Amino acid sequence: MTSPAADFAPFPKTHLLGISDLSPLDIENLLDRANAWADRNALPDNKHAILRGRTHINLFFEASTRTQSSFEIAGKRLGADVMNMSVASSSVKKGETLLDTAVTLNAMRPDLLVVRHHGSGAVELLARKVANCAVINAGDGSHEHPTQALLDALTIRRHKGRIQGLRVAICGDISHSRVARSNILSLTALGAEVHVIGPATLMPPSIERMGVKVFRSIDEGLEGCDVVMMLRLQRERMAGAYVPSSREFFHYYGLDAKRLARAKPDALVMHPGPMNRGVEIDSAVADGEHSVIRDQVEMGVAVRMAVLEALAENLDHAKDNRKPGE
Amino acid sequence: MKNFAEPLLGQRANPKPLLFRGARLVDPSAGTETPGDLLVSGGKIAASGSSVTTPADAEIIDCNGAVLAPGLIDMQAHAGEPGLEHLETLASASMAAAAGGVTTIACMPCTNPPIDDPALVDFLLRRARDTAIVNVVPIAAATRGLAGSEMTEIGLLKEAGAVAVSSGREAISNAGLMRRLLTYARDFGVMVINAVEDKELAGGGVMNESEAATRLGLAGIPVAAETVMLDRDLRLAALTGGRYHAGQISAAESAEAVRAARKRGVSVTCGVAIAHLTLNEYDIGAYRTFLKMHPPLRSEDDRQALVAALADGTIDVIVSNHDPQDVDTKRQPFAEASDGAIGLETLLPAALRLYHSGDITLPALLAAMSSRPAKLLGLPGGTLETGNPADLVLFDPDAPWIVEAGSLSSKSKNTPYEDARMQGRILRTIVAGRTVYEYAPA
């Protein structure tokens, strides 16, 4: 089985650490690949041999069900041997440093390493210490979550046909959100107008320097938007430290049908999940006709297949490992 | 090649007289810069000028126009002893100092245990006498265990040899205690040094709060964390008339606050670390933890304002804030990595960047690292006047070199200047008339 994406331009990076490393063209190329996979995934027989013989390790220092299983399915569909390293219960908790972990992993000779870590920059640190292995950032601290931004962009593109010229609102805890940062980078690179909405305590300083417009009022920020992205508000941040209560947060920043009416009639509603219903989003909206939250999950698998495939093509021993015609 | 002297192990040195011939004599205490010779005899500066008579047994050093200046006095360095010998020892710190032209280090009390007792001051001085090749003076803890709640025996600490008391790495947050400290220490003539950062306001921040931090996804420390504490201290200094010194400031607004306080007639002093004069937040690049420090590196505007404040005399001293950290605690994700950077050996070469850029004259630059700290700490040195201890540095201000972390003398290698280009090489360092360091071209 050949890849539906076989004819796309080679990806010019060894690792996928963040959207900030990518040009608009790099992003578009990955989206084109992912789009082909999304179409192919809708057909029966989803087992491919593109990553046969490749070892793909998911190394998650932070618990994640959604992202980890998405990467796992993507790797398995492409034929890789996928292993999940459960770090929460492993030696890292016993004082092993991140770099010790890198040394251990090197010895296992993985080809593809998917990493999530609570520290901003941790994935990049790890990437500098592994050999002959492509590293994919599955979320580092409050820094970046590039595959999330790619799957969001693909979801938008498949519904709207384009990203250029669209108005996209990102609402909630911008300060602590890697999803917000990666999306701001990718959407502005692709020519969208980005609004960020949230209370000042959850807005990082100088965020406007990233090319976005900042709104304190959700009603103003949603005006004329084509896409509304809601972010998850972590439970520990809604009890007085950053906002007084989840009730007050929902009152001023929660998305309900009335507020959504400020956006365009055909606006898309998105959420990276998992949702806090009644805190940042009303159930009627989350499950309503504007919602493409389920599509985001589906696009997640396609995007991760595209990323795994694109990076695997760049591995040193790529040619030896791949039989002609396969 | 670096050649170091052996420690004296408590013996008195009795070296031959030294004649520096054809030097560019820079005397920061007088603000002068003149070509001439300088004679060292009996551990003291014996004569200087254009017609110095050479004793028959003198060793003659041809300077070829290199700068001869008082050895540097570093008011803030962490030297590892006691308790942190895996990071640095007085011996290794003193070698780094000697290789950097620093002839006196004032050691911070943030050790294990902290230097909060006269017996520990005594221990440190004895240890230094036996193992260090430069002068070491202790700065004692201002509060017991550096815990910020009870004051130490300031009078007895001074008698034991402490040159000042310090809050350590963290500020004394209790304003009432700070007031009493300044008041009590005033009558002993002891200077109180505070680390100016409000801990609550700094929150969990790990770098300057700015666009750079936002892009890196790192929690920021606002400038206000520094100015809030500094403003409080400046008011307390006015209230008590105590000898107050802000250990290091990092921002334009802080320099402005000090300037304004002086205009009101408050007598205060402050320092700045060499890193904050020569680097900014963007040098952190892709999460380089060797540039993680407290206070954090600020914006380029702040850096330039600090340089201007140094040149106009608002900032009194430049410190190395030499802070050895091992690789294990540094090679971590940025937020989890330890704070601190070494700086003794690169202090003068890095500072010379400000001279080469035309921001400050050489005598004024050297004053901030020699005559002024000498005055603040009540130490001899910082001058080329006859009769003073012959603590000297001979350096070529123009010689280019590249910093290689591995070849630095400090036991820890966490330099923020790794692979940086420097202009200015230390050729020889003299402590009490004895050559403790000499550079020999390979």
CA dist B348 and A138 (Å) reads 44
3-state secondary structure of B353: helix
| Contact yes or no for B214 and A206 at CB 8 A | yes
A216 part of the active site: no
| Segment of A74-88, A123-137, B170-184 carrying the highest mean pLDDT | B170-184
Could you give the ipTM of this predicted complex? 0.90
CA dist B364 and B26 (Å) reads 10
Burial status of residue A95 (CB atoms within 10 A of its CB: 0-12, 13-18, 19 or more): exposed
Catalytic pick from A67, A101, A147, A155? A67
Q: What is the DSSP string of B162-199?
A: ---EE-TTS----HHHHHHHHHHHHTTT--EEE----H
End-to-end C-alpha distance for chain B, whole angstroms: 6
* pLDDT the model gives residue B12: 65
* pLDDT the model gives residue A252: 95
| Contact yes or no for A120 and B216 at CB 8 A | yes
| Contact yes or no for B217 and A20 at CB 8 A | no
A67 part of the active site: yes
| Contact yes or no for A97 and B213 at CB 8 A | no
Of residues B254, B383, B377, B232, the one with CA closest to residue B310:
B254
Residue B217 contacts A, CB cutoff 8 Å: yes
Give the residue ranges of chain B where pLDDT is below 70.
Answer: 9-14
Tokens of B204: 């969990």
Phi and psi at residue B338, in whole multiples of 5°? -75, 160
Residue B412 falls in which region: left (phi positive, over 0), alpha (psi -120 to 50) or beta: beta
Catalytic pick from A33, A145, A158, A259? A145
Looking at the DSSP bridge assignments, the partners of residue A56 are: A82, A112
Give the pLDDT band (50/70/90) at residue A82. Answer: very high
Query: What are the residue ranges of helices labelled H in B313-394?
Result: 327-330, 347-356, 362-367, 371-377
Tokens of A33: 């690949």
Give the pLDDT band (50/70/90) at residue A235. Answer: confident
Q: In a mutagenesis test of the A interface, which of B210, B214, B282, B290 is the best target, namely the one with the most A β-carbons within 10 Å?
A: B214
Q: In a mutagenesis test of the B interface, which of A92, A100, A143 is the best target, namely the one with the most B β-carbons within 10 Å?
A: A143
Nearest CA in chain B to A181: B215
* pLDDT the model gives residue A318: 54
pTM assigned to the model? 0.92
* pLDDT the model gives residue B135: 97
Q: Give B-chain residues touching A125 at CB under 8 angstroms.
A: 287, 331-333
- What's CA A97's distance to the chain center, in Å? 26
Q: Give A-chain residues touching B288 at CB under 8 angstroms.
A: none
Question: Rounded to a whole number, what is the distance in Å from the CA of A123 to chain B's nearest CA?
Answer: 8
* pLDDT the model gives residue A322: 45
* pLDDT the model gives residue A211: 97
* pLDDT the model gives residue A323: 43
Q: Is a pLDDT exceeding 60 seen at residue A325?
A: no
- Structure letter (DSSP) for residue A114: E
pLDDT in tens, B384-429: 999 999 999 999 999 999 999 999 999 999 999 999 999 999 999 9
| Segment of A240-254, A269-283, B176-190 carrying the highest mean pLDDT | B176-190
pLDDT in tens, B210-242: 999 999 999 999 999 999 999 999 999 999 999
CA dist A301 and A308 (Å) reads 10
| Contact yes or no for B217 and A210 at CB 8 A | no
Q: Is a pLDDT exceeding 80 seen at residue A123?
A: yes
Q: Give A-chain residues touching B287 at CB under 8 angstroms.
A: 120-121, 124-125
| Contact yes or no for B210 and A205 at CB 8 A | yes
Give the pLDDT band (50/70/90) at residue A326. Answer: very low
Question: Rounded to a whole number, what is the distance in Å from the CA of A174 to chain B's nearest CA?
Answer: 10
| Contact yes or no for A121 and B210 at CB 8 A | no
Buried b (16+ CB within 10 A) or exposed e, B54-63: eeeebeebeb
Tokens of A288: 């309503």
Amino acid at site B336: E
| Contact yes or no for B214 and A97 at CB 8 A | no
Question: Rounded to a whole number, what is the distance in Å from the CA of A137 to chain B's nearest CA?
Answer: 14
Between chain A and chain B, the number of residue pairs with CB atoms below 8 A apart is 69
CA dist B245 and B315 (Å) reads 11
Give whole-number Cα distances, A131 to A16, A103, A251, B273, in Å: 15, 9, 50, 38
Query: What are the residue ranges of helices labelled H in B248-344?
Result: 252-263, 274-278, 300-311, 327-330
| Contact yes or no for B217 and A140 at CB 8 A | yes
Provide the chain A residues 169-208 that lie in CB contact (below 8 A) with chain B.
Answer: 178, 181, 204-207
Phi and psi at residue B339, in whole multiples of 5°? -85, 155
Q: Give B-chain residues touching A140 at CB under 8 angstroms.
A: 217, 333
* pLDDT the model gives residue A65: 86
Question: Rounded to a whole number, what is the distance in Å from the CA of B434 to chain A's nearest CA?
Answer: 45
Looking at the DSSP bridge assignments, the partners of residue B104 are: B73, B135
Looking at the DSSP bridge assignments, the partners of residue B135 are: B104
pLDDT in tens, A207-225: 999 999 999 999 999 999 9
Give whole-number Cα distances, B140 to B73, B163, B321, in Å: 17, 8, 16
pLDDT in tens, A19-61: 999 999 999 999 999 999 999 999 988 899 999 999 999 999 8
Q: In a mutagenesis test of the B interface, which of A19, A123, A137, A142 is the best target, namely the one with the most B β-carbons within 10 Å?
A: A142
* pLDDT the model gives residue B404: 94
Phi and psi at residue B389, in whole multiples of 5°? -55, 140
CB B266 within 8 A of CB B284: no
Q: From the list B209, B218, B332, which residue is nearest A97 (CB)?
A: B332
* pLDDT the model gives residue A64: 86
* pLDDT the model gives residue B167: 98
| Contact yes or no for B286 and A121 at CB 8 A | yes
* Cα-based torsion angle of the residue sequence B345, B347, B348, B350 in order, rounded to the nearest 10 degrees: 110
